[in-house]
A and B are shown apart, each in its own frame.
Chain A
């Protein structure tokens, strides 16, 4: 190697062999790894909590098969799928948020804010209340179809010689508001039991996740994670504007479509299995970015942060359940996220309109 080394201004590690070569920021790798380990740790602690308290040793014994009886059933059959769901769904939400915040170049542009969650929600409400089907596959299909349809509508409505981020967000918020009113109307017209079914689902809870819906969700999650990883380099080029992306050999149209489908699907898969869990997609990428101090919104760190946040929210909901009564995890993220959104809106307004920083 001749010419010279490039100083990047932060610590990087270069990997080179005949087959692969790459360069990573050390801080990003450390932060992302730490976040995933934290998520796993929180998940392990969550396995000990519940109506039947266990110690970490008992959990470990149950997981390894050293302990066979009731404790193994509690851990493996009931609690483990929920904890896996918390970690994986959190990561998916973080990925979806990172994709859309990059595409819209705006920290407000996450799927939950721009109406895709609301679209899934409406489709599920219609499926349960109007069509009268409340089974898992119906709900899952409705959530995914509703999310994609809403994404398409928002995309078309905000298309004017290409997509501009801020317009997409405003249109998304408007569409979302309209969908919420449709939901409310349908619920007022529903039978009380159906309305309660919808209500439980709409609160966003991991408590009812079992292996049956989790396995297909994990399979889809794997596909989405691979697709996000493949599209990530092109996403970074799109951030610089379409002209710059084209000149570097990226085709913005297909790439953006692939990213939108991937991003919407992350939100839809989670919504299908657990109901709407809001604000993680919004907050995780931005919090992760502050930790990694990297350029733009990084997908791995956002995934790690999302996993940590949802695993943390799950543990918190178990602790609240012990002290008081069960609170769905979706409500916890809603409460914590609401505060974050207020802070973000104030900061954005200041920046956009040049008020005091």
Chain B
């Protein structure tokens, strides 16, 4: 297992989020056995892997939605289950895969629910709450829509409302569970840009993603999982190779630098032509002839 950068001294400089020998699963079904990993502080970490590999399960354990049956998830050096629930909620927030908006709720009301960890019986709406909600609405460009019913919004706008709620929670660590699923491509990138802004503002982002190109483009640290285990970790450039894509996802693909960002980009090979005319690249680091025309074809069909 590759070690992440910046963790040379395990005692003093341990990251804020550490999984120590944890077995995670549902009821009797174990997903990950004796898993250990850590999230580098201040990183934009993407967890990738095929369906059912345990990436969302791991994220849910990090968010203490799921308690490990053995081992621990540590937050700032202490078992996450040993904190008061609100205390955790001020340090780490989760954007779940699916949340339910109550019937007839309006945008600002839903975003304001992100302030729950700061509220108590007698203080339900302090000036700081209102400021945080206003800032979250502005950052997600929802200020104009704040009085709308959530039901009236488009899918992309609705997802932004949930992101705004997480932002209003004002946590230094944000866990995002497949945030771009079900969105069209423009809204996917809009959302990823938003997360990059949050990262630039100093937040640690942990994001479960399906799209390898998005992961490579936005994350600075990747965790690759398969069958409940961590296959490898590291920077996108080091991790994303044709060999890895084939061994982890069972997909033969061409990995070439993205012409826009230079980060690795994955283009699946055509299984038919690949069998007839094997064009599998031998060396993933070099540019290949077939790639530019392919990409042009893609763009022209848009």
Query: Which residues of A are at the interface with B, using a C-beta cutoff of 8 A?
Result: 1-10, 14-16, 19-23, 105, 161, 230, 233, 236-237, 239-244, 246-251, 289, 293-296
**Is the Cβ of B134 less than 8 Å from the Cβ of A4?**
yes
Q: Given known contacts A6-B134, A247-B63, what 7 new A-B pairs fall within 8 Å (CB)?
A: A7-B108, A8-B106, A16-B125, A243-B63, A248-B114, A293-B104, A296-B105
* Listed A/B pairs (10) with beta-carbon separation below 8 Å: A4-B138, A6-B134, A6-B137, A161-B27, A230-B121, A243-B60, A243-B94, A249-B84, A249-B88, A295-B102
**Is the Cβ of A246 less than 8 Å from the Cβ of B123?**
no
Closest 7 CB pairs of A and B: A9-B147, A249-B89, A295-B105, A243-B96, A249-B86, A296-B102, A3-B131
- Grouping DSSP codes into helix (H, G, I), strand (E, B) and loop, the B interface class, with mixed when no group exceeds half, is mixed
B147 proximity list for chain A (CB < 8 A): 7-10
What is the CB-to-nearest-CB distance from A357 to chain B, in angstroms, rounded to a whole number?
14
Q: How many residues on B have C-beta within 8 angstroms of the other chain's C-beta atoms?
A: 57
**Is the Cβ of B122 less than 8 Å from the Cβ of A3?**
no
Flag whether B182 is at the interface (Cβ < 8 A): no
What is the CB-to-nearest-CB distance from A194 to chain B, in angstroms, rounded to a whole number?
46
Query: Which residues of B are at the interface with A, using a C-beta cutoff of 8 A?
Result: 26-27, 60, 63-65, 84-90, 93-94, 96-110, 112-114, 116-117, 119, 121-127, 130-131, 133-135, 137-138, 143, 146-149, 166, 169
**Is the Cβ of B122 less than 8 Å from the Cβ of A247?**
no
B107 proximity list for chain A (CB < 8 A): 9
Contact of B126 among A9, A16, A248 (CB under 8 A): A16
**A6-B146, A10-B106 known; A241 vs B99 contact (CB < 8 Å):** yes
Query: Nearest A residue to B115 by beta-carbon distance?
Result: A248
**Is the Cβ of A236 less than 8 Å from the Cβ of B103?**
no
A236 proximity list for chain B (CB < 8 A): 102, 113
**Is the Cβ of A5 less than 8 Å from the Cβ of B116?**
no
Contact of A2 among B84, B94, B131, B169 (CB under 8 A): B131
**Is the Cβ of B65 less than 8 Å from the Cβ of A246?**
yes
Q: Give Cα distance in the complex from A105 to B26, angstroms.
A: 24
Query: Nearest A residue to B87 by beta-carbon distance?
Result: A249
Query: Nearest B residue to A107 by beta-carbon distance?
Result: B103
B125 proximity list for chain A (CB < 8 A): 14-16, 21-23
What is the CB-to-nearest-CB distance from B297 to chain A, in angstroms, rounded to a whole number?
40
**A23-B125, A243-B99 known; A6 vs B108 contact (CB < 8 Å):** yes
What is the CB-to-nearest-CB distance from B59 to chain A, in angstroms, rounded to a whole number?
10
**Is the Cβ of A247 less than 8 Å from the Cβ of B89?**
yes
Q: Give Cα distance in the complex from A247 to B86, angstroms.
A: 9
What is the CB-to-nearest-CB distance from A249 to chain B, in angstroms, rounded to a whole number?
3
What is the CB-to-nearest-CB distance from B151 to chain A, in angstroms, rounded to a whole number?
10
**Is the Cβ of A295 less than 8 Å from the Cβ of B104?**
yes
What is the CB-to-nearest-CB distance from B34 to chain A, in angstroms, rounded to a whole number?
23
Q: Give Cα distance in the complex from A23 to B105, angstroms.
A: 15
Q: Give Cα distance in the complex from A20 to B64, angstroms.
A: 31
Query: Nearest B residue to A19 by beta-carbon distance?
Result: B122
Query: Nearest B residue to A247 by beta-carbon distance?
Result: B94
Query: Nearest A residue to B171 by beta-carbon distance?
Result: A247
A239 proximity list for chain B (CB < 8 A): 100, 102
**A241-B99, A247-B94, A248-B113 known; A1 vs B127 contact (CB < 8 Å):** yes
Contact of A248 among B84, B102, B148, B169 (CB under 8 A): B169
**Is the Cβ of B88 less than 8 Å from the Cβ of A240?**
no
Contact of A9 among B84, B133, B146 (CB under 8 A): B146
What is the CB-to-nearest-CB distance from A7 to chain B, in angstroms, rounded to a whole number?
5
Q: Give Cα distance in the complex from A164 to B31, angstroms.
A: 23
What is the CB-to-nearest-CB distance from A11 to chain B, in angstroms, rounded to a whole number?
11
What is the CB-to-nearest-CB distance from B125 to chain A, in angstroms, rounded to a whole number?
4
**A240-B100, A243-B96 known; A233 vs B131 contact (CB < 8 Å):** no
A294 proximity list for chain B (CB < 8 A): 104
Q: Give Cα distance in the complex from A230 to B106, angstroms.
A: 23
Query: Nearest B residue to A105 by beta-carbon distance?
Result: B100
**Is the Cβ of A296 less than 8 Å from the Cβ of B103?**
yes
**Is the Cβ of B121 less than 8 Å from the Cβ of A240?**
no
**Is the Cβ of A1 less than 8 Å from the Cβ of B105?**
no
**Is the Cβ of B109 less than 8 Å from the Cβ of A8?**
yes
**Is the Cβ of A237 less than 8 Å from the Cβ of B131?**
no
**A7-B108, A23-B125, A247-B94 known; A242 vs B65 contact (CB < 8 Å):** yes
A16 proximity list for chain B (CB < 8 A): 125-127
Contact of B96 among A23, A241, A293, A295 (CB under 8 A): A241
**A9-B147, A9-B148, A295-B105 known; A237 vs B113 contact (CB < 8 Å):** yes
Contact of A246 among B64, B113, B138 (CB under 8 A): B64
**Is the Cβ of B101 less than 8 Å from the Cβ of A240?**
yes
**A9-B107, A251-B85 known; A3 vs B134 contact (CB < 8 Å):** yes
